[in-house]
């Protein structure tokens, strides 16, 4: 690339940045900077699993206001603490009419911010780990580094070929159903059975036009032969997740299914 092209590129980038700043979409720049950090995952992040799965940000960039702008979702509850503040997003299982199901089944996502208002931790409760086992969730996050970007849909498509495979067992359908309860629908899809669930975010406020953002449809796929978890997709507090667990396991693990 010659100097003329470099100057032209920098000029275009500068204009785009200024335009984005003036139009209030500077949060997309910080989101993109966070995405770039995923290329050096162990330098900028680490994960921890206890009774929940937590992603820790070593060099936080995103602010709490950025998260609201990106997800258009307000937390169920907000608490101040000595280190900053924490938000909790509580999702409750609902029926086809979006009415709460009894006995209640729920899971939550919790986000912690430092005193500057930057995201430092993002955690998912134990129920979430029934449909996204920790080892596979960690691998999925790592696969974001080098992912292709769909600018129109604002989604990332990870390249799982760049990752080391996991030698781990996947939970069976019986165990998952024990925690989630019966699905709203079972869809036959060749070698898979897809179990469909609906969850609704408990939130004090939803901006007009974004009501559907609080609604979350989760699809969980099981292999008919092995009865093991194969795929999961859903939207969790603005985080769109779609994991094909078969992409991450070793050949030997596949053969034991």
Range of the domain at 88: 28-255
pLDDT of residue 255: 43
Residue 22 lies inside a defined structural domain of this protein: no
Interior/surface letters 59-70, b for 16+ CB within 10 angstroms, e for the rest? ebbbbbebbbbb
Does some domain include residue 144? yes
Pairing outcome for strands 192-202 and 215-223: antiparallel
pTM of the predicted protein model: 0.80
Res 25: pLDDT: 64
Please state the rounded mean pLDDT for residues 79-104: 94
**Residue 45 above 70 pLDDT?**
yes
Whether the pLDDT of residue 169 is over 60: the answer is yes
Model confidence pLDDT, tens digit, residues 145-168: 665 555 555 455 555 565 567 777
Q: Is residue 189 part of a domain?
A: yes
Higher per-residue confidence, 46 vs 72: 46
Burial (CB count <10 Å: 0-12, 13-18, 19+), residue 27: middle
**Any domain includes 7:** no
| Per-residue pLDDT band at 19 (split at 50, 70, 90) | very low
For the chain, the domain total comes to 1
Residue 16 lies in a domain: no
Q: Regarding predicted confidence, which is higher, 15 or 237?
A: 237
pLDDT for position 238:
59
pLDDT higher than threshold 50 for residue 42? yes
CB 118 within 8 A of CB 37: no
CA distances for 137 relative to 115, 123, 140, 143, 144, angstroms: 28, 12, 5, 10, 11
Facing residues of 241 across strands? 234
d(CA 74, CA 193): 34
Residue 176 has pLDDT above 90, yes or no: yes
Residue 114 lies in a domain: yes
Q: Report in angstroms the alpha-carbon separations of 5 from 8, 15, 54, 70, 256.
A: 5, 15, 43, 33, 54
Most confident of 156-160, 168-172, 251-255: 168-172
The whole-number pLDDT of residue 23 equals 40
**What does pLDDT average to over the chain?**
81
Identify whether 20 is part of a domain.
no
- Residue 188 pairs with which residues in a beta bridge? 193
Q: What is the pLDDT of residues 128-139, one digit of tens each?
A: 888 888 888 888
Give the separation between CA 195 and CA 12, rounded to whole angstroms.
47
Give a yes or no: residue 19 inside a domain: no
Question: Which two structure tokens, joined as six digits, stand for 76?
Answer: 């169920």
pLDDT, greater one: 130 or 86: 86
Q: How far apart are CA 75 and CA 236, in angstroms?
A: 12
Q: Is 179's pLDDT higher than 80?
A: yes
């Amino acid at each position: 690339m010659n100097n003329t092209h470099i100057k032209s590129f920098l000029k275009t980038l500068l204009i785009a940045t200024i335009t984005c700043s003036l139009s209030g979409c500077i949060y997309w720049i910080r989101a993109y900077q966070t995405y770039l950090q995923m290329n050096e995952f162990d330098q900028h992040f680490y994960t921890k699993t206890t009774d929940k799965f937590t992603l820790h940000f070593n060099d936080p960039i995103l602010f709490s206001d950025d998260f609201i702008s990106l997800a258009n979702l307000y937390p169920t509850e907000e608490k101040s603490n000595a280190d900053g503040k924490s938000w909790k997003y509580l999702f409750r299982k609902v029926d086809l009419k979006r009415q709460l199901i009894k006995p209640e089944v729920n899971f939550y996502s919790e986000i912690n911010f430092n005193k500057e208002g930057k995201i430092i931790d993002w955690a998912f409760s134990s129920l979430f780990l029934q449909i996204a086992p920790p080892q596979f969730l960690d691998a999925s996050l790592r696969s974001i580094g080098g992912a292709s970007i769909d600018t129109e849909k604002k989604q990332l498509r990870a390249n799982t070929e760049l990752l080391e495979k996991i030698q781990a067992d996947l939970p069976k359908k019986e165990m998952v159903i024990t925690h989630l309860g019966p699905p709203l629908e079972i869809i036959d899809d060749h070698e898979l059975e897809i179990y469909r669930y609906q969850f609704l975010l408990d939130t004090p406020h939803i901006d007009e036009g974004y009501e559907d953002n609080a609604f979350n449809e989760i699809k969980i796929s099981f292999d008919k032969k092995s009865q093991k978890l194969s795929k999961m997709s859903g939207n969790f507090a603005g985080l769109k997740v779609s994991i094909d667990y078969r992409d991450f396991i070793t050949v030997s693990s596949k053969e034991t299914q």
